[in-house]
Amino acid sequence: MLQRLRWLALAVLMASFGLAQAQVKPLLQPGKRSIYQRVLSTPDCKLYPSAGSVSGAEPVPAFSRFYVYESKDVNGRQWLKVGPDTQGKTVGWLPGTCAVEWKSQLTLAFTNPANRSPVLFFKDKQTLEQLIESDKPGEKLKTLVESLNSKSQAPGVVAREPEWAVTQQQNFYLLPIFEAEEIYTPMGDPMRVLKVASVTAQADEPAPATPDPSKVSSTLKEFTAAVVFVIDSTISMGPYIERTRQAVRDITRKIEKSPVGQQVKFGLVAYRASTEAVPGLEYVSRMYVDPVTMVSGEDFLKKIAQLQPAKVSSPLFDEDAYAGLETALTQIDWKQFGGRYIVLITDAGAIAGHDPLSMTKADAAQIRIAAQERGVAIYALHLKTAAGANNHQSAQAQYEELTFNPVVGKPLYYPVAAGKVESFGQMVDALAGSIVQQVELANEGEMAAGSALTAKLDGSSSDPVSTIKHDAQLLGHAMQLAYLGQVQGARAPSVFEAWVSDRDPAQPSRATTEVRVLLTKSQLSEMSDAVKTILDAANQSHIAPAVMFEQLRAVAATMGRDPNQLNQGGQTRLAELGLLGEYLEDLPYRSDVLNLDEQTWKSWSAAQQQQFIRNLASKLALYRNFNADLDRWVALAPNADPGENVYPVPLEALP
């Protein structure tokens, strides 16, 4: 009996010891309740078995993220006990001199370099600010770039962005942000100067300032393109379905006779509306032809011959265009192609994400983000028929938001006046023909027109056919830069700590970088849950406006928030309730959700409240897509718990 009690006591002791071990957490950042101290390892950093060790060191990859569990001074030198995740596992000690504090998991991604100046990395902030605040920043920037191209160096510049696109979506790179400051140009344009760092796997192999022309030519010969038509296949679209068939038939037969016959592929997705509301519609969206599996032009033509307009009417004038687009974006392996195009053809608006008949629960902004993350350009050919006169304005607003393209600097939205079949046909012919021409030029080793590498075109024409050709050529160049970067393995420059601007000093309207927030799986899950909680409360508040914040206060109280802070009536902001994580509080963006208070909510009209609800519902759908996008989750430290993998979430996707 005594022996059994001893074993029981030992078991309890071991369990208690195990529980204590499991409860070990990293150090919190000052003033934070849930954000732990994080550091990034610098080049040549090593892990030591104990603080103050001089032997037994193991090298770690540059820019590995570690959590800090302990900090101590040994002989006047700081040492950090670190682990790869927050689960209590530590792996050794880092000297404080080779670890850089990373308060918020912000990183930069380059935008496509077409139609803008390259990003230059400056040694200090003052030199960059002097450039931005000068009277002629464009001329000074041009001089610096020319010096880099001819001499591989320029005053105050430590590196430049590669000529080809560096694609974070396919080859993840880390450009962590350590500091950010907003300044203004002499014309009053706001810009941010950012202190960043960058180290690549081949840091000892500097990338050339300009690409080798022979490599450009040989690589371009393998350039391929996919053009996927996403067509509204309801009753009213009959004539346009046939005209699209005719255009694709003509182009397909033309390219089959050319040297690029196997390098341009077409796809077709059709969409209608809810089959639950109207079973006779047969489908919400359907893939008729996947460009990846397209065997030949004749095979494609046989498959699209099966597409016929619906035999029954939809429940609404709007159709589920977002369902068709989501099918095209998620069910096609776009990585197979250099040129990636979707052409939406419709005579109606898209069913909004908040509508019970929406299959995706997404709106234009979320579909646009999904397309940009895949490097896909979306065109919209909007047939403004007489039957849809009352729908034209709302549909145009949707499709302009959907198709805004940062390379062209405007929406790829092309209305067809009166829905004229002839005008529509000319536009489809022009678009498809321009894309085929780009592939033909690439096959000859030539770049498409449209950037600093080649002559720019004039896009000021009022003729829609000329405009669509011009825009297609600009995009073609951007697609080729992305393709060259992917194939040739373009990487971020090998520098450590430098200053960059988030916009082109020569054209402040052009973004050179995009800020991404690296959220862990648990953070993304928590954010989704919080948005869902706010959304549910907002939906119920239509009956009684005060219900929303009453419910949210109750939820916050169950999370341990200070009741005194929660009872501030109409002055309490959503941010102060603590429903959304602290990782959102210090980010460089203005959140309509975090800044909303009860007084403002009650003052809004029903339409304003409904728009707020729609935006939240659409973002919730986007978070589900992020979670399911397995290819984009990245481990930032060796042997870290998979739950600490991160997803690069665009700032505009945050609540």
Q: Tokens 């145009």 correspond to what residue?
A: 396
pLDDT at 171: 67
Residue 569 CA to residue 223 CA, distance in Å, equals 61
112 inside domain: yes
Q: What is the pLDDT of residue 596?
A: 80
Q: Where are the alpha helices (DSSP H) in 182-234?
A: 213-220
pLDDT of residue 455: 36
| Pair (194, 158) in one structural domain | yes
pTM: 0.79
Contact 194, 499 (CB under 8 A): yes
pLDDT above 60: residue 201: no
Integer Cα distance of 247 and 427 in angstroms:
10
Q: What is the rounded CA–CA span in Å between residue 309 and residue 314?
A: 12
How far, in Å, CA of 644 to CA of 637, rounded?
A: 9
The answer to the question of residue 2 being in a domain is no
Residues 461 and 541 in one domain: no
By mean pLDDT, which of 405-419, 420-434, 440-454 is the weakest? Answer: 440-454
pLDDT at 604 over 50: yes
Does the pLDDT at position 286 exceed 50? yes
Whether 331 is covered by a domain: the verdict is yes
CB 530 within 8 A of CB 629: no
Q: What is the pLDDT of residues 472-482, one digit of tens each?
A: 888 888 888 77
d(CA 313, CA 514): 43
Beta bridge partners of 79: 72, 95
Domain boundary among 76, 101, 126: 101
Kindly state the percentage of the chain with pLDDT values over 70.
86
Q: 12 φ, ψ to 5°?
A: -65, -40
Query: Residue 111 in contact with residue 500, Cβ under 8 Å?
Result: no
Cα–Cα distance between 36 and 30 in angstroms, integer?
A: 9
In a domain, 4, yes or no: no
472 and 325 within one domain: yes
User: Can you tell me which residue has the tokens 């029981």?
Assistant: 8
Same domain for 303 and 338? yes
83-97, 98-112, 448-462, 509-523: range with lowest mean pLDDT: 448-462
Q: How confident is the model at residue 202 (pLDDT cuts 50, 70, 90)?
A: very low
- Structural contact between residues 603 and 347, judged by C-beta atoms closer than 8 angstroms: no
Domain span at residue 474?
217-488
Q: What is the pLDDT of residue 43?
A: 80
- Render pLDDT for 624-652 as a digit per residue (tens, 0 to 9): 888 888 878 888 887 888 888 889 888 88
At residue 170, the pLDDT reads 64
Whether residue 319 is predicted with pLDDT greater than 80 in this model: the reply is: yes
The answer as to whether 53 is a domain residue is: yes
User: Which pLDDT score, from 0 to 100, does residue 564 have?
Assistant: 52
CA 561 to chain centre: 33
- Cα Rg of the chain (Å, integer): 28
CATH (domain of 83): 2.30.30
Are the C-beta atoms of 83 and 90 separated by less than 8 Å? yes
Same domain, 74 and 152: no
Q: If pLDDT is split at 50, 70 and 90, which confidence band does 458 have?
A: very low
Determine, yes or no, domain membership for 174: yes
For the cut 90, the answer to whether the pLDDT of residue 379 exceeds it is yes
- Give the domain-ending residue among 85, 101, 117: 101
On average, the pLDDT of the chain sits at 82
Tell which residue, 594, 557, 554, 549, has the closest CA to residue 576: 594
Q: Does residue 556 sit within a domain?
A: yes
Same domain for 321 and 291, yes or no, is yes
Give the residue among 39, 24, 60 at the shortest CA–CA distance from 104. 39
Q: Are residues 200 and 227 in the same domain?
A: no
Report the SS3 class of residue 246: helix
Same domain for 483 and 501? Answer: no
Q: What percent of the chain has pLDDT over 90?
A: 29
Whether the per-residue pLDDT at 142 is higher than 60: the answer is yes
350/444 same-domain check: yes
Could you identify the residue written with the tokens 């079973």? 279
Instruction: Determine contact, residues 378/371, Cβ cutoff 8 Å.
Output: yes
292 and 333 in a single domain? The answer is yes
Quick one: pLDDT at residue 562? 52
Task: Give me the number of domains the chain comprises.
Answer: 4
pLDDT confidence bin for 590, thresholds 50/70/90: low
Strand partners, 67: 38, 83
Instruction: Report if residue 304 sits inside a domain.
Output: yes
- Same domain assignment for residues 407 and 326: yes
Distance CA 139, CA 489 (A): 31
Predicted confidence band of residue 495 (pLDDT cuts 50, 70, 90): low
Which residue, of 45, 68, 101, is where some domain finishes? Answer: 101
Band (462; pLDDT cuts 50, 70, 90): low
**Spatial CA neighbour of 512 closest among 145, 102, 136, 101:** 145
Mean pLDDT, to the nearest integer, of 27-47?
87
Task: Decide which of 6 and 499 is more confident.
Answer: 499
Span 251-266, mean pLDDT? 78
CATH number of the domain bearing residue 247:
3.40.50.410
Same domain, 283 and 190: no
Instruction: Region of 450 please: left (phi>0), alpha (psi -120 to 50) or beta.
Output: left
pLDDT digits (tens, 9 = 90+) for 384-406: 988 888 999 999 999 999 999 98
Mean pLDDT of 281-298: 90
